[in-house]
Amino acid sequence: MSKARRPAASGPVPTPHAGSGSGDLLDLDQAIARLATTRPTFYRWLRSGRISGLKVGRQWRFRSQDIESFLRGEASREVLTVDIAPLREALAVRLREAGGTPDPGQAAADPVAATVQLMIRLGVALRASDLHLEAMHDERQPQLRLRYRIDGTLHECALADQRLLAPLIQQWKRLTACDLNERRLPQDGRLVANLGGTTIDLRACYLPGVWGESVTVRFLSRDAVRLSLEAIPLSPHNRARLEPALARPWGLILCTGPTGSGKTTTMYACLAQLTGPEVKVISVEEPVEYRLPGVTQIGVHHGIGLTFASALRAVLRSDPDVIQIGEIRDRETLLVGMQAVLTGHLVLSQLHTTDAAGALQRMVEMGVDPWVAAEATTLVIGQRLVRRLCPHCSEPVQLTPVQEQQVLAIARDGGMDLAAQPREYRRSVGCGKCGQTGYRGRTVINEMLVMGPEIGAALRRGERAPALRRLAIGLGMVPLAADGLWRAARGETTLDEVLRTVPLEG
């Protein structure tokens, strides 16, 4: 679609706003004179989108209010060339179905701003973790698509004319303090909103695409997240392994898993457990997700040279007792973290590996001496999130023969005693309270590898992750799939959901 703001644009002329007569439009020379600039400079502003105009035949026309807004330093607004009312009404209907209510103060507001506010309110009502607004190109009918991720799964919410994407993206950028005129580079922005007494932290990421920009917005509810170990539903076996590791005065505790597996929440819960007037806690993060009382939190800023490694070196000079490293991404950060452990600090961090044993192998591959890794590491947590069954509509179920074989395989690989496990398996059904998905909320499954003399010796011998994993299971570690089976057998989730998250090997 041609953009009306570009000098080379062609196509239908956008309809001016109601009430804009010919006296409100300036020709090119009048606009240049009003701005007191040169023609080449004006054309640069026009090409970059800092000034918007209308192409009437071969002549450019400019609204007086757009020129005045530019003089006041305000960015120009995208012109609506299609009706946004159907999208707005569809979002309002979905919001009412989800139990939310539109903001009455938005009824007479700018239609684009009101639509974005509905997107935010709908995300909160649906308990979504993130929102995805993007172009879904189709030669016959280009559309924009709005999706929400709920309990880890994406759900399509609305489709609309693709020409609405640019003004909606512009409004999101305005709210999250991003550059409205930059469409070629990715941008990150943030907004803190208060909806009915609930504080929502919105993190926006903009990406340039072939068919237009897209935005992904993460929803972080400061009020809904309880950052405490008591609020994390760990199995008794895993809790008995975590708490002694936190009680030690020094050592490395790693939390591993893919993006979106709840690692940050677990680390924050551990920090909350450790924080006190007699303990100095410092964290280095990118970004700082939640503000923790009693913790000195440092946000990494690569643009000014404040990296994880450089911040950690300064932290070590500040006499901390506990250090959290938001994520170990490179060898330098890992080595400085190991130095902190070996000088008597308790260090908590995250590493992206598929399981706990893989983290030990990854550290060695990143350049840590196996002897140092074995000496410094106290505990490695492998973690995933699985959907929790809706308490209003789930029902008991008998396992099929295939599922019985899967249960036997999980129990055999995990060293479980099936006779000691409950058999309260249930299946998802779907109702109005869970949006017909059969699930509501998520719970955590873990494996906790305690570093002992046997595993340390195997690591120093150069054993790889599979051998370390088998050894850890033999020493009492309950692997991810087995922990998930324990929850399925108690009726908290389904066996299919566990296998979707942690598939059987082989």
pLDDT in tens, 374-396: 999 999 999 999 999 999 999 99
Mean pLDDT of 425-433: 91
- Sign of the C-alpha dihedral, residues 74, 80, 85, 88? negative
Q: What structural domains does the chain harbor?
A: 1-78 (no CATH), 85-221 (3.30.450.90), 229-501 (3.40.50.300)
Give the Å distances, CA to CA, from 62 to 168, 248, 482: 22, 69, 67
Q: Is the pLDDT of residue 352 over 60?
A: yes
Percent above pLDDT 90 for the chain: 60
User: What pLDDT, in 10s, does the model give residues 12-29?
Assistant: 333 333 333 344 788 888
Q: How far is CA 212 from CA 6, 69, 208, in A?
A: 15, 25, 6
Q: In this predicted structure, what is the pLDDT of residue 138? A: 72
pLDDT band at 177 (very low <50, low <70, confident <90, very high): confident
User: What is the pLDDT averaged over residues 358-369?
Assistant: 95
User: Which run of H or of E encompasses 122?
Assistant: helix 111-125
110-137 confidence digits (pLDDT tens): 899 999 999 999 999 998 999 999 998 7
- How far is 135 from 159, CA to CA, in rounded Å? 10
Residue 267 has pLDDT above 70, yes or no: yes
Phi first, then psi: what are they for 49, rounded to 5°?
Answer: 90, 0
The confidence band for 318, taking pLDDT boundaries of 50, 70 and 90, is: very high
CB 169 within 8 A of CB 213: yes
Distance (Å, rounded) from C-alpha 306 to C-alpha 284? 10
- pLDDT given for residue 17 in this prediction: 39
pLDDT of 103 strictly over 80: no
List 385's β-bridge partners, or say none: 444
Phi, psi (deg, nearest 5) at residue 261? -100, 10
H helix count then E strand count, the chain: 17, 18
Looking at every residue in the chain, the average pLDDT score rounds to 87
CA distance 432 to 410: 33
- Which band of pLDDT confidence, cut at 50, 70 and 90, is reported for residue 101? confident
Task: Name the pLDDT band for 436 (thresholds 50, 70, 90).
Answer: confident
Indicate whether 441 pLDDT > 80: yes
At residue 289, the pLDDT reads 81
Grade residue 212 by pLDDT with cuts at 50, 70 and 90: confident
CB count in 10 Å sphere of residue 415? 15
